[in-house]
Structure 1
Amino acid sequence: MTASSIIEYIDQYDGDVRNRLLSVYELIRTAVPDEAEESISWRMPTFKLGTEPLFFFTGTKRHIGFYPTPDAIAHFSAELADFGTTEHLIQLRHDAPLPTELMREIIAWRLQQLPSGKV
């Protein structure tokens, strides 16, 4: 099944993975401006502001993938040293607590990087 909304995407998962995805969704949703759009892009839950992608996230067997942009990952590289990362991705392993405070900081930083007038 291909999800057509973020909630539909999350509802494809069960138990703890579903709850973790809901937590990530709520962290992002409560931080982004009201005019941010929710969608599914590249088969991933996505938040955009106009044409500007803000955040993507995914569920996998072993982790949640959180995609806050390469600049955010580079900026927080010291804080992310204990996480699996790539240029685009932070792996939030299911066998560890969600780093909600760090995620809030990353989300806030990313939103501050938007061109003036976007937020």
Structure 2
Amino acid sequence: MKKYEHVSEYLADLAPMQREVAQIMRELLQDAAPEANEKISYNMPAIEQNGHVLVYFAPTESHLGFYPTADPIVAFKDQLKNYQTSKGTIKIPYDKPLPVKLIRVIVAYRIQQVTTN
């Protein structure tokens, strides 16, 4: 498996549709967390603030994987009922629009977690 150092390098290797969705997510995260820095962590795009990764994301063949850590999955379980989730994962199918408002709320939640702890 190729090891990535930069998000732009990661995105360049994606299939066109996956790259388009990933770029939209990238821009959404940059807007939702303007003080965060993007990085590659666990060989996928992530944003970090105050030395803590806020969220990760990675396109797959069938969905966009959004990894906000475990706490938001529990905190927003009612809003996530239409998505397949696991301990720290939200699977967003490509045939559904990105839940922009929900992603923003989850990112704000994560920012609060890393700035108050």
Asked if TM exceeds 0.5, the reply is: yes
Point out where structure 2 has 5 or more consecutive residues left out of the alignment.
Answer: none
The equivalent residue for 1:18 is 19
* Corresponding residue SS for 2:115: coil
Point out where structure 1 has 5 or more consecutive residues left out of the alignment.
Answer: none
Which structure carries more helix by proportion? 2
Asked if 1 retains the 8 angstrom alpha-carbon contact of 2:54 and 2:110, the reply is yes
**2:33 aligned partner, one-letter code:** V
Asked if 2 retains the 8 angstrom alpha-carbon contact of 1:47 and 1:55, the reply is yes
**TM-score for both structures, normalised by structure 2:** 0.88
Identical amino acids, percent of aligned pairs? 34
The superposition leaves residues 49-108 of structure 1 with CA deviations (integer Å, 9 ceiling, x where unpaired) of 243111111111111111111111111100101101001100011121111121112112
Asked if 1 retains the 8 angstrom alpha-carbon contact of 2:49 and 2:114, the reply is no
How many residues align structurally?
A: 116
Aligned partners of 2:50, 2:105: CA distance in 1, in Å?
Answer: 22
The equivalent residue for 2:99 is 99
* Corresponding residue SS for 1:113: helix
RMSD: 1.6
Aligned partners of 1:46, 1:115: CA distance in 2, in Å?
Answer: 17
The superposition leaves residues 9-57 of structure 1 with CA deviations (integer Å, 9 ceiling, x where unpaired) of 11111222111101111111122243x3321111111111243111111
The equivalent residue for 2:75 is 75
**TM-score for both structures, normalised by structure 1:** 0.87
